Amino acid sequence: MKCLIVLLSFARLVAIAQTAQNPVIKSAGTVHDIPYATVAPDPSLSYNIVIDITSGPHNPGQMNPSLERVARLINLHVVGGVPLENLHIVLAVHSASAVAVINNEAYQNRFKMDNPNLNLIAELKQAGVKIAACGQTLIMRGIDPMQLAPGVEVATSMITTFTTYQLKGYASMKF
């Protein structure tokens, strides 16, 4: 009997954790609520995070996996009880990831297909994420700043963006 109770309890917990959610970013970053977690986000904290976004997908027809991880980060914190207004996220986009944040016309000119990242970029912006493309990368990769997706800003560099936000107390991550 005890074994059956333990098994049913475990099955209940697994079933609860199986419910996929996209509370803020709907197009990416699906997460699962883990109500029995003993290590979880603190809803009373303000999360200031600067993220080094450097890599791109293997195929230009795929969404940038680093941007998807940002969506997951947001959704995880919100599922964990953190109010969206307590998330302050800055993306320092550079290197191979820079093409992910160009507008559709520029993407079509480069890859002969639509930019699969634009809906996600719009959702991230709507959620309050600051997206800063490295000006040094733009020059090195031949990207005109006028070709950036709406809302994407130009930074002097990834390095200066990263150091500036770290000195402002932002936690750093690399995706």
H helix intervals, the chain: 2-17, 65-79, 104-111, 118-126, 135-140, 158-167
Distance CA 115, CA 106 (A): 9
What's the topology of domain 2-31+46-174? Hypothetical Protein Ychn; Chain: A, (3.40.1260)
Report pLDDT digits (tens) over 123-174.
999 999 999 999 999 999 999 999 999 999 999 999 999 999 999 999 999 9
Which residues sit opposite 21 in a β-bridge?
A: 31
Distance CA 75, CA 164 (A): 26
Pairing between strand 87-93 and 47-53? parallel
Report pLDDT digits (tens) over 37-88.
999 999 999 999 999 999 999 999 999 999 999 999 999 999 999 999 999 9
Report pLDDT digits (tens) over 2-45.
655 555 555 555 555 578 999 999 999 999 999 999 999 999 99
